[in-house]
Structure 1
Amino acid sequence: MHRAYLDTEFTDLNPYTYKLISLALVVPGGPEFYVELTDHWVEAECSDFVREIVLPQLDLNVHGRTVDQARTELRAFLLALGPVEIVSDAVMWDWPLLVWLAGPEGLPDGVTAGRISSDIEFDDLGYEPPHHALQDARFLAELVGGLAEFP
């Protein structure tokens, strides 16, 4: 079974109102999926942090997709992977956004949520995430994907 590492960027830290801006899935040594949504959020909904740090890193001309386009591409990516365990360092934020993007059909069969060992202390690594979904997912894939099996 493949393991893919998930990261998202979103408008703010309110779990009731936050909206997906970008989403990345990275399979170590394998394919990557990255998308920036163009029709789901507006800058006025974003926190100051997101406006200052996240939005300047977007390249909507290259990675921008409508929700419908992104949904289609996400499902195609996941179906091509087959059974996959999706791991995130912020499951409570990232997983609901992944499920939302998958849409009414839901995630394909064989897609399961994994977890990262509580023994891994990201704060102790001295890594300052750039808050770019693809770069952060790549880091997570390199860090955790390079470890032996984790509980």
Structure 2
Amino acid sequence: MKLYLDCEFTQLSPAAKLISLALVAEDGSEFYVELLDTWSHQDCSDFVIEIVLPQLWHGSYAMPVFAARDALLAFLEGFTETLEIVTDAPQYDWELFCELAYVNGRWPSNVLNRPTDAATLYACNDGAPLPHHALLDARIIAGMFVAPD
């Protein structure tokens, strides 16, 4: 099963810190989380401050990193099949996903340990412009590759 990943993070640099992460599965299952304690406003680029931060949903989606990690692992463990993570930005999104998914020297047993670059897949359509919200973007990316019923 393919899971389409998108992340929002503080800046386009190796120092990027995860702000939010979303996964949308081929079966329609979704996961979304916003991290409270891994970044600060001062870490963010002007683009992130102006475009990304105002779109955060807060509420029950916002949690400390340890709770976010537990929620992510529970979501992944809910699948019986092998999971393939697809992203349009493997150099950022995959690295940030790994930081959250890799715990105490253990990788989730049902998740392939390498990403699939969305650019290598055949898209059914061009998708819509990405609004730079992790869950909305992941839905759009998934919709580019999952043919409607």
Band of TM-score, shorter chain: 0.7 to 0.9
- Counterpart CA distance in 1 for 2:86 and 2:51 is 24
Identity %: 46
Match of 2:109, SS state, is coil
Report deviation, 1:41.
0.6
Q: Is the 8 A contact 2:33 2:61 kept in 1?
A: yes
- Judging changes above 3 Å, is the alpha-carbon distance between structure 1 residues 118 and 3 closer, same or farther for their aligned structure 2 residues? closer
**1:30-45 superposed matches below 5 A:** 30-45=28-43
Q: Is the 8 A contact 1:28 1:142 kept in 2?
A: no
For residues 70-102 of structure 1, what are the alpha-carbon distances to aligned partners after superposition, in whole Å with 9 as ceiling and x for unaligned?
000101111111311110011111001001011
**Could you tell me which of 47, 50, 54 is aligned with 1:49?**
47
What is the TM-score with the length of structure 1 in the denominator? 0.86
Match of 2:7, SS state, is strand
Q: Is the 8 A contact 1:38 1:60 kept in 2?
A: no
Q: Is the 8 A contact 2:127 2:140 kept in 1?
A: no
**1:51-66 superposed matches below 5 A:** 51-66=49-64
Task: Determine whether 1:3 maps to 2:16.
Answer: no
- Judging changes above 3 Å, is the alpha-carbon distance between structure 1 residues 116 and 73 closer, same or farther for their aligned structure 2 residues? same
Instruction: Quote the residue 1:90 is aligned against.
Output: 89
Task: Determine whether 1:109 maps to 2:109.
Answer: yes
Instruction: Tell me the amino acid that sits aligned with residue 88 of structure 1.
Output: T
Report deviation, 1:7.
0.2
Stretches of 4+ moved more than 4 A in 1?
none
Report deviation, 1:145.
2.2
Instruction: Quote the residue 1:144 is aligned against.
Output: 145
Instruction: Quote the residue 1:129 is aligned against.
Output: 130
For residues 85-124 of structure 1, what are the alpha-carbon distances to aligned partners after superposition, in whole Å with 9 as ceiling and x for unaligned?
1100111110010010114334311212223244768xx9
Gaps of 5+ in 1: none
- Counterpart CA distance in 1 for 2:97 and 2:25 is 16
Gaps of 5+ in 2: none
Q: Is the 8 A contact 2:102 2:108 kept in 1?
A: no
Match of 2:23, SS state, is strand
Instruction: Tell me the amino acid that sits aligned with residue 52 of structure 1.
Output: E
Matched positions, count: 143
CA RMSD of aligned residues (A): 2.0
Q: Is the 8 A contact 2:88 2:119 kept in 1?
A: no
Instruction: Tell me the amino acid that sits aligned with residue 20 of structure 1.
Output: L
